[in-house]
Amino acid sequence: MVNDQHNDKFGFIDAEFDRRNATRQLRELRNVLPLNGIEININGRTMLNFCSNDYLGLSMHPLLQERSIEFIHKYGSGATASRLICGNYDFYEQVENKLAQLKQVESALVLSSGFQANISVIPALADRNSLILSDQLNHNSLIQGARLARCKVAVYRHNDLSHLAQLLKQNADKGFSRIFIVTESVFSMDGDVADMEGLVELAKQFNVFLIVDDAHATGVFGHKGMGLTCGHDIDLVIGTFGKAGGSFGAYLACSKKLRIYMINCCSGLIYTTALPPSVLGAIDAALDLIPAMDAQRKTLHANAEYLRQSLHEKGWQTGSSSTQIIPIMIGKAADALELSKWLEENGILISAIRPPTVPEGSSRIRLSLSALHTRNHIDRVIDVLEKWRSNK
């Protein structure tokens, strides 16, 4: 009887495993060893890494490592409490002031992670009588944040500002306490970009609150690499240091008033231990380096354009990508997994992206370029792709 009860209690787990196996969606973790900015060791094999979000190659930069060690020696290994208790070490003010100046905003606030920021910032702003207008291809963290706000959410067609304007007109006089537009700047799965000027114009025209997740643009685009939002009048910008910043953590770029509001109302800041000093040391170093990395950004964008053009010439579809994120659209999950496995067998790591991360029928492999990749690396990927297709 005990065994039967135990089986019944956990039967939903077996059912979920069966479902994911049947749909090729069962994931697993595996150990990796980073060797440098673009090579990785898996099971004793060195592979060329095209999966990483380390767009500027800063994750192993000596200055980030040195600054991390410096902060550990000065402050210790942990922040010991939340920022509102005793974890708000003086380096936070140093980093946030530096970031605000670079982002051309009044104020900045560092949070623990991009996912945590998105799922706690949006509910802190919206109440039950709010309306959130969300881009169709927003990251899962933004979708979850909108759901946690427990208000009405309407999805507008991806990057379709005419549809967004239509929804704004339809809902302007419906008594919502406040209306939010929520979007990414660079979309993580498709590698295309939002129209910042058009979004700002609509937000002003309808007097609504604009939130932009600048995670994949920070370090890569904009004035001094400070993102596609830099220089635009956007109510709240959310970004991360775990991509081109080469470290970890998230930030808000906003007005001083909104910063104070978040300190008092954002659960993701209030109820979590502050980031350890080593992480803030790396962030501080990255903010010193990124503004002067125009040459690396130029290389990154040139290589991305070269890769896209080469793939198009050979008949591969990359969707609407215009950034360092380049999906190769495959369709079926099984085919995407097969191609990813083939690439890995040939020493190249490019993961398959499949439902539920992307819609059914749009499985893909997704390349994330780094400024450290060379044309030879890119040509090698193209050659291996062509061999796979010729063997099909």
Spell out the domain ranges in the chain.
25-56+293-391, 60-291
Q: Residues 318, 356: contact at Cβ < 8 Å?
A: no
Contacts of 216 (CB under 8 A, 6+ apart): 53, 184, 185, 186, 187, 188, 243, 323, 325
In terms of DSSP bridges, do strands 39-42 and 33-34 run parallel, antiparallel, or are they unpaired? antiparallel
Give the pLDDT score at 4. 54
Angle between helices 11-22 and 2-9 (to 10 degrees): 50
**Residue 242: count of CB within 10 angstroms of its CB:** 21
Q: Residues 176, 131: contact at Cβ < 8 Å?
A: yes
Instruction: Tell the CATH topology of 25-56+293-391.
Output: Aspartate Aminotransferase, domain 1 (3.90.1150)
Give the pLDDT score at 391. 83
In CATH, 60-291 is 3.40.640.10: yes
Q: Is 163 exposed, middle or buried (0-12, 13-18, 19+ CB in 10 A)?
A: middle
Per-residue pLDDT of the chain (392 residues; tens, 9 = 90+): 445 555 678 899 999 999 988 888 888 899 999 999 899 999 999 999 999 999 999 999 999 999 999 999 999 999 999 999 999 999 999 999 999 999 999 999 999 999 999 999 999 999 999 999 999 999 999 999 999 999 999 999 999 999 999 999 999 999 999 999 999 999 999 999 999 999 999 999 999 999 999 999 999 999 999 999 999 999 999 999 999 999 999 999 999 999 999 999 999 999 999 999 999 999 999 999 999 999 999 999 999 999 999 999 999 999 999 999 999 999 999 999 999 999 999 999 999 999 888 988 999 999 999 999 999 999 999 999 999 998 87
Which residues are annotated as catalytic?
A: 53, 139, 184, 188, 213, 216, 243
Give the pLDDT score at 26. 87
Q: Residues 249, 279: contact at Cβ < 8 Å?
A: yes
Q: Is 156 helix (H, G, I), strand (E, B) or coil?
A: strand
Q: Strand pairing partners for 154? A: 133
